[in-house]
């Protein structure tokens, strides 16, 4: 380990070597090159640094001490000379958003010499920064300013950095934000206009760096720029460092929805990257802290609408096989067979399905008979209305489709049943299948059919029973946690928490994600194939290519993003609900 003595001195000559022989948990022999004896601050720092690095290899359970000072100067830290926050492009700002400074007009002619000011700094090799000192000598060099159509050679004022090692030739350089320039490394400077144009290009239609750089290079040729455009590598590095400065996190709140959203839309965005880039600092909401409370939830069977699995599958098949449709065989000899199948289905309806539905609810049977069974026969043709078909499809699915019946939906349904008026019925959009039926019946007949109301009541009671069963193991509401309980990074003010944790939400974290020791699939992202299902159709691909799951983001219904997190391994609903809960 190479340990710096103090924050101000990062040059190699000021560093002290610490040697360690032993096993990963830190047990072994520590030696400091400066001092004999067992413990000194250098050893402390090195030990802590090692602990932190080892945590990146999977073991997330361990807790870190917060007062870490160790810094790795071997890792190249991507920072630019410019460091002041930049306002986002005008077209992606909300009307309420305040610009922290007035955006300057786009640069069309070569600027005068770019001079040093109080904001001028050096992006030191350890990630720190040293600032311009007017009492020290300055020098002038040439730099290239890249604009939309051409590049200019411009004089730039610099000052040697007193903090960086001399052999690294680092300079304190200007911060030209006020003239719309981004100073990447004192030698290449880009206009904000140019860099924003790339944001517009890739968000408008998928544009990789390479073709875009080509396009700009051609434009430079056309406008006979004396200096060619940069290569792809330099532009990409420059653009990413610039993107870090854009203040996207300012007040991204929908003017209609406000702070607390009524409805959110969650979706995964498959911008995945290699899993080898996932480091220990990534903290998605799914991560379980060792302070997390334990929840006694168990997985319960019988969460379906219709309790008998075998029977509801038969009902599902009956509908999908054509119900009471009388099929005509194409060929003469098939006639008998298809007729036989039709008779079979009719018998099944009378002997099995009606009595079974009746045993569950008289209204359910009546609705089925009237809208799906014999009542759906019109002039010997079976024509069930699409709306009822949809409801019974929903009720007979193996999935727990009852999930859409939230507490608020239940309250609204209860209210509607007390007073079945179109006004109250409008609130039932949360159960679209039922809502559509009620809407149709009222428009057609100016009243709701008694059995429809009966089915609605049955749905209410059935959901309430399942909900009660699920909640019976979790009597206490989840605890809130004060913010002090959450780990905060304090290393560098330029790198914000979310840039390390890959987790950014506009509301602060309020609790730990609970641990569910009794749920067999909790915290086991490597689910087996049958659980992957269709919604994770690319999951296999990800795990084969060792890619991460991409980004999970949350929008309001007006397409304004309220937050996101990086998904280390695709997990599905855990990604969504962990974020909501925490
Ligand atoms: Zn420096
Ligand atoms: Zn909104």
Check residue 227 and give its pLDDT.
Answer: 93
User: Alpha-carbon torsion 354, 358, 362, 367, what sign?
Assistant: negative
Check residue 574 and give its pLDDT.
Answer: 85
Among the bound ligands, name the one nearest to the CA of residue 559. Answer: 2
Phi, psi of 468 (to 5 degrees): -65, -40
Banded model confidence at residue 54, pLDDT cuts 50, 70, 90? low
Check residue 7 and give its pLDDT.
Answer: 61
**In residues, how long is the chain?**
582
Q: Is the pLDDT of residue 338 over 60?
A: yes
Average pLDDT of 374-396? Answer: 86
Distance 553 CA to ligand 2 centre (A): 14
3-state class (DSSP) for residue 331: coil
Q: Which of 88-97, 281-290, 311-320, 480-489 has the lowest mean pLDDT?
A: 480-489
Average pLDDT of 69-79? Answer: 54
Check residue 328 and give its pLDDT.
Answer: 64
Pairing of strands 139-146, 503-505: unpaired
Check residue 124 and give its pLDDT.
Answer: 87
pLDDT in tens, 446-500: 889 999 999 999 999 999 988 888 888 777 778 887 766 665 555 556 677 787 7
Check residue 146 and give its pLDDT.
Answer: 96
Distance 307 CA to ligand 1 centre (A): 70
Distance 269 CA to ligand 2 centre (A): 20
Whole-number Cα distances in Å, 89 to 92, 215, 468: 6, 20, 50
Who surrounds ion ligand 1 at CB < 5 A? 122, 124, 130, 161, 163-164, 170
Check residue 77 and give its pLDDT.
Answer: 59
| Cα gap 488→566, rounded to integer Å | 18
Check residue 73 and give its pLDDT.
Answer: 47
Check residue 294 and give its pLDDT.
Answer: 85
Among the bound ligands, name the one nearest to the CA of residue 122. Answer: 1
What whole-number percentage of the chain has pLDDT above 70? 83
Check residue 35 and give its pLDDT.
Answer: 67
Q: Where are the domains of the chain?
A: 2-55, 90-245, 265-297+480-581, 309-471
| Cα gap 185→261, rounded to integer Å | 42
Check residue 13 and give its pLDDT.
Answer: 66
Phi, psi of 302 (to 5 degrees): 60, 45
Check residue 533 and give its pLDDT.
Answer: 45
Mean pLDDT, the chain, integer: 82
Among the bound ligands, name the one nearest to the CA of residue 171. Answer: 1
Distance 404 CA to ligand 2 centre (A): 21
Find, among 570, 522, 565, the residue nearest to 543 by Cα: 570
Average pLDDT of 98-105? Answer: 84
Distance 47 CA to ligand 1 centre (A): 26
The residues pairing with 22 across neighbouring beta strands, listed in sequence order, are 28
Q: Is the pLDDT of residue 270 over 50?
A: yes
Distance 263 CA to ligand 2 centre (A): 9
| Cα gap 498→40, rounded to integer Å | 33
Pairing of strands 188-191, 139-146: parallel
Distance 557 CA to ligand 2 centre (A): 5
Check residue 30 and give its pLDDT.
Answer: 82
Q: Is the pLDDT of residue 392 over 80?
A: yes
pLDDT in tens, 294-318: 888 887 777 888 888 888 888 888 8
Among the bound ligands, name the one nearest to the CA of residue 261. Answer: 2
């Amino acid at each position: 380990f190479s340990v710096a003595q103090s924050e101000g001195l990062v040059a190699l000559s000021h560093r002290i070597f610490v040697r360690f022989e032993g096993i990963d948990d830190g047990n072994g022999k520590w030696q400091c090159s400066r001092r004999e004896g067992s413990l000194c601050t250098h050893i402390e720092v090195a030990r802590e640094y090692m602990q932190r690095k080892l945590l990146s290899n999977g073991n997330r359970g361990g807790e870190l001490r917060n007062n870490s000072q160790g810094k790795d100067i071997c890792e190249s830290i991507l920072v630019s000379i410019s460091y002041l926050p930049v306002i986002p492009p005008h077209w992606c700002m909300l009307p309420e958003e305040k610009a922290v400074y007035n955006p300057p007009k786009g640069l069309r002619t070569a600027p005068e010499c770019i001079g040093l000011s109080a904001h001028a700094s050096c992006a030191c090799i350890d990630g720190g920064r040293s600032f311009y000192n007017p009492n020290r000598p300055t020098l002038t060099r040439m730099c290239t300013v890249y604009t939309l159509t051409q590049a200019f050679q411009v004089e730039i004022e610099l000052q040697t950095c007193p903090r960086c090692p001399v052999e690294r030739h680092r300079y304190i350089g200007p911060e030209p934000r006020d003239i719309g320039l981004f100073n990447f490394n004192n030698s290449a400077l880009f206009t904000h206009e140019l860099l924003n144009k790339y944001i517009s290009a890739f968000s408008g239609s998928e544009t990789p760096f390479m073709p875009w750089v080509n396009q700009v290079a051609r434009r430079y040729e056309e406008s006979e720029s004396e200096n060619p455009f940069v290569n792809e590598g330099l532009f990409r590095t420059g653009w990413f460092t610039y993107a870090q400065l854009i203040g996207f996190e300012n007040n991204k709140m929908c003017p209609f929805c406000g702070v607390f959203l009524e409805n959110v839309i969650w979706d995964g965005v498959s911008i995945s990257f290699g899993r080898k880039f996932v480091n220990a600092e990534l903290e998605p909401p799914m991560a379980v802290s060792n302070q997390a409370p334990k929840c006694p939830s168990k997985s319960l069977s019988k969460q379906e609408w219709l309790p008998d699995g075998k029977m509801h599958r038969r009902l599902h098949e009956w509908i999908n096989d054509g119900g009471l449709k009388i099929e005509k065989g194409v060929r003469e000899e098939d006639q008998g067979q298809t007729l036989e199948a039709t008779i079979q289905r009719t018998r099944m309806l009378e002997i099995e399905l009606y009595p079974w539905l009746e045993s569950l609810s008289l209204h359910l049977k009546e609705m089925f008979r009237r809208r799906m069974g014999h009542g759906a026969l019109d002039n010997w043709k079976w024509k069930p209305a699409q709306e009822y078909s949809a409801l019974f499809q929903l009720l007979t699915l193996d999935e727990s489709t009852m999930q859409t019946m939230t507490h608020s939906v239940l309250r609204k349904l209860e209210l509607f049943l007390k007073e079945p008026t179109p006004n109250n019925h409008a609130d039932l959009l949360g159960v679209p299948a039922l809502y559509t039926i009620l809407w149709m019946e009222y428009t057609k007949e100016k009243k709701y059919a008694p059995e429809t109301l009966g089915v609605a009541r049955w749905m209410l009671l059935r959901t309430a029973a399942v909900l009660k069963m699920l909640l019976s193991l979790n009597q206490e509401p989840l605890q809130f946690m004060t913010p002090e309980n959450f780990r905060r990074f304090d290393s560098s003010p330029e790198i914000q928490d979310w840039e390390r944790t890959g987790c950014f939400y506009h509301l602060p974290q309020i609790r730990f994600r609970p641990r569910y020791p009794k749920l067999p699939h909790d915290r086991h992202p490597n689910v087996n194939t049958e659980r992957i299902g269709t919604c994770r159709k690319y999951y296999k691909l990800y795990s084969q290519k060792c890619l991460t799951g991409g980004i999970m983001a949350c929008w309001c219904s007006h397409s304004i993003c309220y937050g996101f997190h990086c998904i280390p391994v695709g997990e599905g609903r855990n990604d969504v609900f962990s974020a909501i809960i925490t």
